Amino acid sequence: MSDDIGLWGVPLAILGGAIRVSTPFIFVSIGECLTERSGRINLGLEGTLVFGAMSGYAVAYHTGSPWLGTLAAAFAGLLFGLLHGWICRLPRVNDIAIGIALMIFGTGLAFFFGKPYVQPVAPDLPAIPLGFWSSLPQVQAALNVNVLFLAGIVLAFATAWMLKNTRVGLTIRVAGDSADAARALGIDVNRVRLWSTAAGGALAGVGGAYLSLYYPGSWNEGISSGQGLMAVALVIFARWNPVNCLYASLLFGGAGALGPALQSVGVTSGYYLFYAAPYVLTLGLLVATSSRSRAMPSAPGELSIVK
């Protein structure tokens, strides 16, 4: 059988790319979704993602276990989330501005401590060869699925179920929709938001660990290309629904894979414009789904960006 599958390589590469590229989006967007459902926005997840990538890589390198690295990244993300949540509970502090500061701070700390880890090679997270049935190497490559991708799918449905059906989920939603109602129910709004932000940070850390430990699979200062920030926009597009976050992440992953996929079949002109595709897509979706006159449907009522 010929290995040359011609232009079929493009959709296949996009599918494979969507699976590979979308995983960090899935984790960050579900984390941000959780935070925003509690009524706060954390723009600092970009910094958390980069710091997660660095700390995950460093711990995996020292311990030899990529899973310990992922755990460390989640813990680091948790700390960043706690910092954001703790600062935001003070009066007159703007959660968006704090997010920007934490973006700079997290990125700076990651570059600061990450310098010695640019050269060494850490073990990768394992992948499951779901393309074993095909003899085509392109199909096998596209369906070589990382464990974290599958975990992300489970996480999306579990988070949606948790928000809808459990006491914790109801508490988060009440805190996000009306702080007054939450207080009337005896809920400590700040505490709910603190832990929702912390959980969101932990998930963003895992997303970062995926970047450095699987795809692209190394640590360097250009590891993130704004995934943490795009995920925030993606949550708006996904209408604060974790399952929609999953679908939106796949769409973004596919857009991100467009450039490399076309390059692989020899289309090189306008390469840099294809590189901009995910950002253009994000912006286009934001424009299409925002509205000037009415509050966005299903947006948490306490969210500063939709008020």
Examine residue 90 and tell whether it contacts other proteins (CB under 8 A): yes
CB environment 114-138: b (16+ within 10 A), e (fewer)? beebeeeebeebebeeebeeeebeb
Using an 8 Å Cβ cutoff, are 102 and 83 in contact? yes
- Chain-centroid distance, C-alpha 71: 16
| Least spacing, CB of residue 13 vs other proteins, in Å | 20
Estimate the share of the chain in helix, then strand, then coil, as percent rounded to the nearest 5.
70, 0, 30
Compute the distance between CA of residue 213 and CA of residue 217 in angstroms, rounded to an integer.
5
Q: In this chain, which stretch among 132-140, 148-156, 239-247, 281-289 interacts with other proteins, using CB under 8 A?
A: 281-289
Selected from 97, 150, 158, 168, the binder of other proteins by CB under 8 A is 97
Examine residue 82 and tell whether it contacts other proteins (CB under 8 A): no
Amino acid at 52: G
C-alpha count within 13 angstroms, C-beta hemisphere, residue 148: 30
Examine residue 286 and tell whether it contacts other proteins (CB under 8 A): yes
Return the residue matching tokens 């992440």: 249
Q: How far is CA 299 from CA 43, 50, 81, 239, 304, in A?
A: 17, 28, 21, 7, 11
CA nearest neighbour of 32 among 16, 23, 45? 45
Selected from 13, 34, 102, 122, the binder of other proteins by CB under 8 A is 102
Residues in contact with other proteins, shown as a per-residue x/- string from 169 to 208 under the rule CB under 8 A:
----------------------------------------
Selected from 12, 15, 59, 232, the binder of other proteins by CB under 8 A is 232
Q: In this chain, which stretch among 68-76, 123-131, 192-200, 283-291 interacts with other proteins, using CB under 8 A?
A: 283-291
Selected from 1, 92, 119, 154, the binder of other proteins by CB under 8 A is 92
145: DSSP letter: E
Compute the distance between CA of residue 61 and CA of residue 68 in angstroms, rounded to an integer.
10
Using an 8 Å Cβ cutoff, are 252 and 21 in contact? yes
Q: Pull the structure tokens for residue 246.
A: 């999953």
Examine residue 104 and tell whether it contacts other proteins (CB under 8 A): yes
Residues in contact with other proteins, shown as a per-residue x/- string from 16 to 55 under the rule CB under 8 A:
---------------------------x------------
Compute the distance between CA of residue 225 and CA of residue 229 in angstroms, rounded to an integer.
9
Selected from 112, 133, 154, 186, the binder of other proteins by CB under 8 A is 112
Total site size for other proteins, rule CB under 8 A: 49
Examine residue 226 and tell whether it contacts other proteins (CB under 8 A): yes
Selected from 5, 109, 127, 141, the binder of other proteins by CB under 8 A is 109
Examine residue 7 and tell whether it contacts other proteins (CB under 8 A): no
Examine residue 267 and tell whether it contacts other proteins (CB under 8 A): no
| Least spacing, CB of residue 135 vs other proteins, in Å | 37
Selected from 18, 198, 213, 229, the binder of other proteins by CB under 8 A is 229
Reported residue count of the chain is: 307
| Least spacing, CB of residue 4 vs other proteins, in Å | 29
Output 68 or 101, the one with its CB closest to other proteins: 101
Using an 8 Å Cβ cutoff, are 155 and 30 in contact? yes
Residues within the interface to other proteins (CB under 8 A)? 43, 87, 90-94, 96-98, 100-102, 104-112, 115, 221, 225-226, 229-230, 232-233, 236, 269-273, 275-276, 279-280, 282-283, 286-287, 290-293, 305
